[in-house]
Structure 1
Amino acid sequence: MGILELFLIAVGLSMDAFAVSICKGLAMRTMNWKNAWKAGLYFGGFQTLMPMIGYLLGSGFRDKITKIDHWIAFVLLVVIGLNMIKESREEDSDANDSFDVKTMLLLAVATSIDALAVGVSFAFLQVNIVAAVCFIGCITFAFGVAGVKIGNVFGTRYKSRAELAGGCILILMGVKILIEHLMG
């Protein structure tokens, strides 16, 4: 596998994390670089870890993983999206609290489920797995940090509407993942 193919895989895998990072940034009143780095580390870390786990699991568990991965991502994204919508309706909610460990772990898992399946496929290809997962993690980290900043630029102007939109986007992402997997 060449560097171009690996780059395209990394960008593709990081798009869910990028979209979620934008949603997180939308909900912030002021830019908090600590939270942006936190988002980048969670998303980049899980995008590094999940393909490695998938690689180690290999083909023996591939059917079992791909049968439920879309349901896991769907449930996590819908629950978090509904919570964001609820927070958008609360007066004076502090969206920075949504960078807590529990929320970030759920989001990181939800956005990296596909990377697990990619890791399984890496087990059957001529791939330097350590270099590949590190590359994927770095790309996702950068997209995560940038997404928070981009979201914040727009979110400070449109706070409650942006948080509402962010919640709706997460729910739609969950529905999209579910439909794509159910349709084949």
Structure 2
Amino acid sequence: MAPMIGEVLALSLMAFALGMDAFSVGLGMGMFKLRLRQIFKIGITIGIFHVWMPLLGIAAGKFLSNQFGAIAGYIGGVLLLVLGLQMILASFQKEESRFITPVGFGLLFFALSVSLDSFSVGLTLGIYGAKTILVLICFGGVATILTWIGLFIGRKVQGWIGTYSETLGGSILLVFGIQLLLPF
């Protein structure tokens, strides 16, 4: 039972880290007058993408693990390190106005862009044999909730929180990458 609790906690932290991207962008998007129906639809769409992208990653990771064995484990750790560093560095760059309207293809593009990193993490989790259903529930649920929170807060405040949330998410992934490369 204790290993299961540890896995749920680790997956929840990873899901939180990955969802911070959606939260951050949701803050900015929430500053536009969105109806509650739009907010609901945006959160659900991002949650669905945060289920499918890691599922694809897990499938690819399991394949790589079967083909390359131990080397695949190091690749997974390096992927998390790179992804974490990229998120941290991106949080310090000045944002150009890259707003895409959250309707139709714009919503699909937005959902895909904030869930691409969950493919990479899914790849790593597939290599390490994480429980697929648990990953998908954690990633999809947390991404949906963080998106909704970001959109609602964005309706109330300015976007200064976004930079810090992306830095926090990147730091969490960085720590997991280090832990995978240097097991304690």
Partner of 1:90: none
In the TM superposition, residue 56 of structure 1 has moved relative to its aligned partner by 1.1
| Gapped regions of structure 1 (runs ≥ 5) | 75-79, 85-94, 156-161, 178-184
Q: Residue 82 of structure 1: SS of its match in structure 2?
A: coil
Partner of 1:17: 22
* Corresponding residue to 1:49 among 42, 45, 52: 52
Give the Cα separation in 2 of the matches to 1:8 and 1:154. 25
Q: How does 1:132-171 map to 2 (within 5 A)?
A: 132-154=135-157
TM-score (norm 1): 0.64
In the TM superposition, residue 60 of structure 1 has moved relative to its aligned partner by 4.0
The residue type equivalent to 1:49 in the other structure is: W
Partner of 1:159: none
2:31 counterpart of 1:26 = yes
The residue type equivalent to 2:138 in the other structure is: F
Percent of residue pairs identical? 21
- Structure 1 contact 43–112 (Cα < 8 Å) conserved: yes
2:10 counterpart of 1:5 = yes
Partner of 1:82: 97
Partner of 2:69: none
- Structure 1 contact 26–152 (Cα < 8 Å) conserved: yes
Partner of 1:102: 105
CA offsets, 1:126-175, max 9 Å, x none? 421022112210011011111111001126xxxxxx7xx89xx79xx7xx
Partner of 1:88: none
- Structure 2 contact 51–137 (Cα < 8 Å) conserved: yes
Partner of 2:180: none
- Structure 2 contact 102–110 (Cα < 8 Å) conserved: no
The residue type equivalent to 1:37 in the other structure is: F
The residue type equivalent to 2:16 in the other structure is: V
Q: Residue 43 of structure 1: SS of its match in structure 2?
A: helix
- Structure 2 contact 47–140 (Cα < 8 Å) conserved: yes
- Structure 1 contact 21–39 (Cα < 8 Å) conserved: no
State how many pairs are aligned: 148
